[in-house]
């Protein structure tokens, strides 16, 4: 049996409604959410959770995966579009759009574009973000959610735009970089959702990530602590109850209590760094997360779907 706990009522404000509380619409340009976090913290699950939440609120949602992560197809609601972007294909598309025709393919395949890319670091990141921008401006979706790469790469992705603007003085790359920068820095349209687990290293990296996000002037749209275990069940054990536990049970329970205290400490460090509340998403007693379970987590987080 898998139980879903209701999250704290103060956290039921859906991040895609931030910052002004109005629903985004495709006409005004889709709201873009960048889901960022360290590897293994559940970025993809969180992306799917946000997609369920926004979909349940009646919005048209597009989820963008980088480098073909297919589990998003498996975890997102049926009515949500999922598209995959790879850096190589995005660059090729971009060159095609710029009228380079067959050169685009030859360049992309020769490896020489890689050498050229080094002359302008971040060109791949720029074309991926450019693709996201393009999706957001097409007018088909109200919300575009990007399952961004893991932390280290995500911060370089965010800073790639200003880095490129420093290097490239003119031409199509510069225009593209300016467009993307405009979108990233528009708090009304774009925001980052930071995901972490309650463990020490992920929280440390998330705190670094938060300052990196601030340094590039991207708004923070939400913060999620994922996979919080139900260890709090154990902290109410009385001394008397504890003393009666069989030894092998006491051992694992003590370890769980210690872990719970460490988690609580890590969550408060995260909250302090953010200066806002975070949403905690409970870890389920399953190794096999599926669409229905993510939908239940989304309902617990953001409420029942609108009819």
Partner 1 sequence: MITDLISERSVIVCCGSGGVGKTTMAASIGLAAATLGRKVVVITVDPARRLGDALGLDSGLGADPAQVVLPDDVSGELWAMMLDPATELERVIRTTAVRPGQADEALANPFTQSIATSLGGTQEYMATEAVYRLTSDEAFDLVVVDTPPSDKAMAVVEAPDVLVKFLDHQVFKLLMGTGGRAARLLSAATQPLLRAVGRVIGSNVLNDVVNFLRAFTGMETSFRQRAITVQKMWRSDSTAFVLVATPTTESLNEISRFNDELISAGISSTALIANGATKEVLIDAETSGHLPASAAEWLGWQSELAESERTVLRARNANLPEVAMVGRLHEDVHDVDGLLQLADELVSTSSPKKLQ
Interface with partner 1 by CB under 8 A: which residues?
1-2, 38-41, 44-45, 67, 69-71, 95, 98, 100, 103, 106-107, 110-121, 123-124, 150, 152, 168-173, 199-202, 230-231, 233-234, 236-237, 241, 244-246, 248-249, 252-253, 255-256, 258-259, 262, 285-289
Report the residue number, 105 or 214, with the smaller CB distance to partner 1.
105
Report the residue number, 28 or 106, with the smaller CB distance to partner 1.
106
Least CB distance to partner 1 at residue 288 (A): 5
First to last CA, the chain: 28
Report the residue number, 142 or 282, with the smaller CB distance to partner 1.
282
What is the β-pairing status of strands 190-197 and 143-147? Answer: unpaired
**3-class SS string, the chain:** CCCCCCCCHHHCCCHHHCCCCCCCCCCCCCEEEEEEECCCCCHHHHHHHHHHHHHHCCCCEEEEEECCCCHHHHHCCCCCEEEEECHHHHHHHHHHHCCCCHHHHHHHHHCHHHHHHHHCCCHHHHHHHHHHHHHHHCCCCCEEEEECCCHHHHHHHHHHHHHHHHHCCCCHHHHHHHHHHHHHCCCCCEEEEEEEECCHHHHHHHHHHHHHHHHCCCEEEEEEEEEECHHHHHCCCCHHHHHCCCHHHHHHHHHHHHHHHHHHHHHHHHHHHHCCCCEEEECCCCCCCCHHHHHHHHHHHHCCCCC
Least CB distance to partner 1 at residue 141 (A): 25
Least CB distance to partner 1 at residue 43 (A): 10
Report the residue number, 22 or 200, with the smaller CB distance to partner 1.
200
Least CB distance to partner 1 at residue 274 (A): 21
Nearest-angstrom CA–CA distance, 295 and 247: 39
Q: Are 209 and 50 in contact (CB under 8 A)?
A: no
Report the residue number, 23 or 253, with the smaller CB distance to partner 1.
253
Report the residue number, 121 or 303, with the smaller CB distance to partner 1.
121
Least CB distance to partner 1 at residue 132 (A): 18
Least CB distance to partner 1 at residue 280 (A): 16
Least CB distance to partner 1 at residue 75 (A): 8
Least CB distance to partner 1 at residue 189 (A): 27
Cβ count near 267 (within 10 Å): 18
Report the residue number, 70 or 277, with the smaller CB distance to partner 1.
70
Report the residue number, 28 or 244, with the smaller CB distance to partner 1.
244
């Amino acid at each position: 049996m898998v139980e879903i706990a209701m999250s704290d009522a103060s956290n039921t404000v859906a991040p895609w409604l931030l910052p002004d509380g109005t629903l985004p619409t495709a006409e005004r340009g889709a709201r873009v959410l960048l889901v960022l976090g360290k590897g293994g913290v559940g970025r993809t699950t969180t992306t799917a959770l946000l997609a369920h939440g926004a979909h349940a609120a009646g919005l048209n949602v597009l989820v963008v995966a980088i480098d073909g992560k297919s589990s998003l197809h498996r975890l997102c609601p049926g009515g949500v579009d999922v598209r995959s972007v790879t850096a190589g294909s995005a660059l090729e598309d971009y060159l095609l759009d710029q009228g380079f025709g067959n050169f685009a393919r030859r360049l992309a395949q020769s490896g020489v574009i890689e050498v050229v890319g080094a002359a302008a670091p971040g060109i791949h990141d720029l074309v991926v973000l450019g693709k996201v921008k393009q999706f957001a401006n097409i007018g088909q979706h109200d919300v575009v959610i990007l399952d961004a790469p893991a932390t280290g790469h995500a911060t370089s992705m965010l800073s790639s735009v200003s880095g490129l603007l420093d290097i490239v003085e003119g031409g199509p790359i510069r225009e593209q970089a300016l467009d993307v920068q405009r979108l990233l820095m528009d708090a009304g349209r774009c925001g980052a959702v930071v995901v972490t687990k309650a463990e020490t290293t992920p929280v440390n990296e998330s705190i670094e990530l938060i300052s990196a996000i601030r340094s590039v002037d991207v708004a923070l749209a939400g913060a999620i602590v994922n996979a919080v275990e139900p260890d709090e069940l154990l902290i109410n054990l009385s001394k008397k109850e504890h003393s009666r536990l069989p030894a092998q049970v006491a051992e694992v329970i003590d370890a769980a209590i210690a872990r719970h205290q460490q988690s609580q400490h890590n969550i408060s460090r995260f909250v302090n760094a953010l200066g806002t509340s975070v949403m905690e998403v409970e870890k389920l007693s399953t190794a096999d997360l599926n669409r229905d379970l993510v939908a239940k987590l989304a309902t617990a987080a953001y409420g029942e779907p609108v009819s």
